[in-house]
Amino acid sequence: MPRIRILPEILASQVAAGEVVERPASAVKELVENSLDAGAREILVEIRRGGAALLRVIDDGSGMSRDDALLSLERHATSKLSEAKDLAAIRTLGFRGEAVPSIASVSRFRLMTREPQAVSGTEISVEGGVMRDVREAGCAPGTVVEVRDLFFNIPARRKFLRAESTEAAHVEHQLRLHALAAAGVRFRFRKDEREVFDLPGGMSRLDRVRWITGTELGRELVVLPLTHGNGVAAEGFILPALHARKGRRHQCVFLNGRPVEDAAISRGLAEGFRGALTDGLHPCAWLWIDMEPALVDVNVHPAKREIRLHRPHELREVLASAVREGLARAEMAKRPVAPAASKLAEALPARTVWPASIPVQRQFEMPAAVAAFDPVGAPGVETKALPFRYLGSLHDRFALLESADGLVLLDPRAARERILYERWLETNDGFHSQALLVPLLLEPGPRECEVALRHREEFARAGIELEDFGSGTLRIGSLPDFLHIDDSRALLAGLIDDLVAGQVPGGRLAFEMLARHLARRAAMAESPRPQEAMKLLEVLFRCELPYCAPDGRPTLSEFSLRELERRFAGGRSAPL
């Protein structure tokens, strides 16, 4: 019979690390939060090989004495709580006292720290949770934490790490969140000996958000006025409903300075738009919420991502009110609410966009969208007589057809989508592509850029040439010929969002997803012509799955005579 035993200290720390440290970005989050709690005004984060080989966090905070530095490596040792009632008034980002010992238990760990008034500092080395060395050291005031060979002693965890570029993108995303939460702090990020960004301290929240969104979207930001509720205050920025995205990754919410996720917050934002959002889409938002600590429990998730609100409906109403007020003011002003220029834009060097010498029509081995609807069959394919008779159209949108069994409605757009989608997949062809005279710059964020660049070949086959432009920006050199610059940004952002959300591997599956979305856009580019239904049906019935569009919507809907007579008989049985 198994015997119950107490886990050894190192094993217990490794178990805790499994909850707190999922990947390098998790370690960065915990260490940066400690730096902010220590009052740091400058924070430098350096990583190598996505953070798995090296992760270094340097701050100019309050530092620690020798005794405190040693205690910080003990489990549940913290300076932020002293008794149980303090849990109801947490204002610090960290409080559990598990992050540092957990990280040290799964890495080769080095801590150097010095208090400002001290003559010298302390250096501690730990390997896999075992203390190796403690000595006096010369160092600047503040704290330096080095984490090398993360998960070196837990191979099972290390093999689950993604590609270096993916892990680096997660680290950069985490730092961007902290940079938004603490706009007064200087943040520097270095990746593989290259500086990715250096954000000066003292920036306004608006400047930080504009740095995240880019200049073009920054002009469309809608300011949410400071709105008060019962123990709650909220303010921030949103983008108009036109820029709503799939998923909530583009909602950055900071509650009492802590990045958080909560469904009530998302619902409050959506309610403020009063039905202007398409189903399945969520608004882009950057929110700062101050709340009485007693009204929120931040101790419900090991990594402190999720929270529990005691009165979620009140926060939801405050956010909905702020969104309604912000949108109303923007509508009345009839001009961008955000100022036309920011200090950050003046401080950063202007980007140079090199135009192509001439607009070039490039063929990516794909027949044009119009050619896809050519009713002439492939050689050797015999067109059979269709079992339908064209009757007319409904609101110039649907074709009305008569069949042997009753009435059939044809959706020409859905039919075109199916035809385009199958032809793009069945051949080795690509799309007709138009090279852009002035390349388009898209700023979806570091994680999104990494995913898009990983699928660069699939995008190229779909007629979209893209390349890395640095700092979470993509340079788009060409687009399919049925897309226009004014409507391509939202589509491209949506394509990348779907790739990120679905974690689609490269190759055919990724191209199928791109083809599905682009087929829908190509079909919408032409007005439906129900009167051409019979020609369209000839092509549709050569498809492998003619009865539904690529996303599952029906192309044909039939109403049988029996069903129609039952309807007109008022529920009574009627002879056929």
The pLDDT score that the predictor gives to residue 358 is 31
d(CA 433, CA 549): 24
The pLDDT score that the predictor gives to residue 570 is 64
d(CA 160, CA 52): 12
Helices (H) and strands (E) in the chain, counts: 18, 25
d(CA 54, CA 148): 4
The ranges assigned to domains in the chain are: 9-199, 205-342, 361-558
- Pairing of the two strands 251-255 and 285-291: parallel
The pLDDT score that the predictor gives to residue 323 is 94
User: Which CATH number, 2.130.10.10, 1.20.1270.10, 3.40.50.970, 3.30.1370.100, labels domain 361-558?
Assistant: 3.30.1370.100
b (16+ CB within 10 A) / e for 487-524: ebbebbbbbbbbbbeeebeeeeebbebbbbbbbbbbbe
Give the 3-state secondary structure of residue 199: strand
d(CA 386, CA 542): 12
**CA 149 from centroid of its chain's CA atoms:** 28
Return the CATH class of domain 205-342: alpha beta
Q: Where are the beta strands (DSSP E) in 365-513?
A: 389-394, 398-402, 406-410, 432-442, 465-470, 473-480
Radius of gyration of the chain, Cα coordinates, nearest whole angstrom: 29
The pLDDT score that the predictor gives to residue 341 is 43
Give the 3-state secondary structure of residue 452: helix
Domain 9-199 architecture: 2-Layer Sandwich (3.30)
Q: What's the half-sphere exposure (Cβ side, CA atoms, 13 Å) at 233?
A: 6
H or E element in which residue 416 lies: helix 412-426
Q: Where are the beta strands (DSSP E) in 103-193?
A: 108-114, 121-127, 130-137, 142-148, 186-191
What are the phi and psi torsion angles at 137 (to 5°)?
A: -145, 150
d(CA 153, CA 74): 19
The pLDDT score that the predictor gives to residue 163 is 86
Instruction: Evaluate whether 449 touches 383 at the Cβ level (below 8 Å).
Output: no
Provide the residue type at 236 as one letter.
Answer: G
Instruction: Say what the pTM is.
Output: 0.70
The pLDDT score that the predictor gives to residue 440 is 84
Instruction: Evaluate whether 112 touches 139 at the Cβ level (below 8 Å).
Output: yes
Per-10-residue mean pLDDT, the chain, length 576: 66 61 91 93 96 96 93 75 59 73 93 95 94 93 96 87 89 92 94 92 90 82 91 92 84 90 89 84 92 80 72 90 92 62 42 35 36 38 65 87 89 90 72 80 84 86 85 84 72 82 65 83 73 85 88 88 83 54
The pLDDT score that the predictor gives to residue 43 is 97
